[in-house]
């Protein structure tokens, strides 16, 4: 339910409310404590924090939004670290598909591929981290609602299709 609500918010506004994230964290904590007792707090905390730390580098490059990282951490709080990593890997696959579809639909696939190659080249050449996506420069048309990809990733991992 939380993932579906996040995807709907993200599709409509390209944002996910912190209230929804907090509700997901608290529900995950309640679930873990109910299932594992006091030790569930440790499982929950690890599941929430490890994805945040692991995915922070992608946020620094502006390749993923903070809310998307928090949604992955909600999954980690409920299901554990390994599960959240599997969901993220599956989400990358679905996010790539959504990106290609969006680029083809709006007619800028070649431009975005060229931009990506130049972006990687520039990082290697200058050895500096630069934001990949800047809303003011790139516009909202180039952004995808990644939480939808996360939801699809969750469904495939949960369904045993991936992982």
Q: What does the pLDDT look like over 108-131, one tens digit per residue? A: 899 989 988 999 999 999 998 888
Cα(93)–Cα(146) distance, rounded to whole angstroms? 11
Q: How many domains does the chain have?
A: 1
Q: Tell me the per-residue pLDDT of 73-112, one tens digit each, with 9 for 90 and over.
A: 999 999 999 999 999 999 999 999 999 998 999 898 999 8
163 domain residue, yes or no: no
Structural domain harbouring 84? 2-158
Please check whether residue 145 is in contact with residue 14, taking contact to mean a CB–CB distance below 8 angstroms: yes
Is 142 a residue whose pLDDT tops 80? no
**Residue at 24 is within a domain:** yes
Counting every residue written for the chain, the total comes to 163
């Amino acid at each position: 339910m939380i993932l579906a609500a996040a995807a709907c918010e993200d599709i409509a506004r390209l944002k996910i409310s912190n209230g929804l994230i907090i509700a997901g964290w608290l529900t995950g904590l309640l679930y873990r404590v109910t299932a594992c007792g006091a030790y569930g707090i440790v499982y929950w905390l690890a599941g929430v924090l490890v994805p945040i730390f692991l995915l922070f580098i992608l946020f620094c490059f502006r390749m993923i939004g903070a809310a998307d990282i928090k949604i992955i951490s909600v999954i980690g709080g409920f299901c554990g670290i390994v599960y959240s990593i599997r969901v993220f890997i599956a989400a990358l696959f679905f996010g790539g598909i959504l990106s290609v579809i969006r680029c083809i639909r709006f007619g800028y696939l070649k431009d975005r591929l060229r931009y990506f190659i130049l972006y990687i080249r520039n990082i290697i050449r200058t050895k500096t981290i630069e934001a990949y996506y800047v809303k003011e420069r790139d516009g909202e048309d180039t952004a995808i609602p990644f939480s939808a990809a996360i939801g699809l990733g969750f469904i495939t991992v949960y369904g045993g299709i991936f992982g």
